[in-house]
Structure 1
């Protein structure tokens, strides 16, 4: 059964601006970063340059500019030492809660609808979001948030909380590794119903045992992106 949120989003889907612009009929590579992907070694995942080279190789072989995927994916990358559990013996966070669009640094990111800047932050630790923006939206009386991670640092340096972002506005760009948490360039796009008083940050990955709780608060971003088959 569809949720009230998904019903409202589907009602307005045809009016949304692309978050990342694609050419008409452009092919996208669906990227598998799950633990089932045996071609991803720990050595590749532990080195940004090697990881970026692996992604670029996948794109080149597929003849694509962009790769996409990740929602609800139990990821191998989060099982490397960089993402070890907070305390020895704790369950690690490995389940991805957003959709990633992998592509060149500097790729513009657009507002799919109008919204207000809720918060932003520079989460600069290795493996974190880097430059991060959170917008607040409202449709048919329902408030919700969208999070944009791994942005260019300059994109958040002129923002202020409460600032209005208009439909279709080029509001950000894919950041380089030095500004995006030391990841290969990409956009992490996540939908959040309740920010739980957090500002400029919200978990993009959860523990397997907590997945149902987080899935209910972070609906499928493809409802907005409309880039993957439904």
Structure 2
């Protein structure tokens, strides 16, 4: 059974991972020609591209990216290889640094780390959740350094608890402030990390293991 269907079937309360009233769908896909005019390795340029769109729309945040094919990862060696990784496995919520992040459903800290490599998550937290007999995980990337201070594996976090903040450009390792939010069925042995972007050849398996997390956002 799909995770979303199980929550609906049992009428289980959840909490949005970020509080907002209105959202602008943001396209960072490879077909967006506007991206070709942006210096993605320049903080001001990348920041303006994202936040000027949000401001001009009058919306609170920018949201998008699940399953999106992106060429922008070529700016980092982290995603390169014989077959580059281009498929985004989570949803990005773009907002100012310091924006609070909330627990969507009761759980505990599975793992955390500071992935301090250009293009990576920077500070990241992974929570483990269980509903009935179903165990699943949620990943929160591009957080502030303060979010992982005084954190411990196994620490309980309740539905609606504010437990992290979005990081600055420097903290979240050279991305404009945003939350990468990802739903993961099986962690496959990973701790403090899980791929947020996959190769096209692995798309089917990864998107099956990482279903659309929109249910915990809207």
Q: What is the TM-score with the length of structure 2 in the denominator?
A: 0.95
| 1:119 and 2:150 aligned | no
Are the aligned partners of 1:9 and 1:224 in contact in 2 as well (CA < 8 Å)?
A: no
Partner of 1:183: 175
Partner of 1:132: 124
* Alignment gaps of 5+ in structure 1: none
Are the aligned partners of 2:76 and 2:119 in contact in 1 as well (CA < 8 Å)?
A: no
Instruction: Provide the aligned length of Structure 1 versus Structure 2.
Output: 218
Candidates 27, 30, 34, aligned match of 1:35:
30
In 1: Cα distance, 2:107 partner to 2:172 partner = 23
Are the aligned partners of 1:13 and 1:224 in contact in 2 as well (CA < 8 Å)?
A: no
Name the stretch that deviates more: 11-20 or 55-64. Answer: 11-20
SS in 1 for 2:33: coil
SS in 1 for 2:164: strand
| 1:212 and 2:210 aligned | no
Q: 1:51 to 1:12 in 2, by over 3 A?
A: farther
SS in 1 for 2:30: coil
Runs of 4+ in 1 over 4 A off after TM superposition: 81-84
Partner of 2:143: 151
Partner of 1:71: 66
Q: 1:171 to 1:177 in 2, by over 3 A?
A: same
Partner of 1:15: 13
Q: 1:210 to 1:149 in 2, by over 3 A?
A: same
In 1: Cα distance, 2:68 partner to 2:154 partner = 33
Q: 1:194 to 1:84 in 2, by over 3 A?
A: closer
Partner of 1:203: 195
* Alignment gaps of 5+ in structure 2: none
Q: 1:123 to 1:12 in 2, by over 3 A?
A: farther
- Aligned residues: CA RMSD: 1.5
Name the stretch that deviates more: 121-130 or 38-47. Answer: 38-47
Deviation at 1:223, TM superposition (A): 2.1
Partner of 2:3: 5
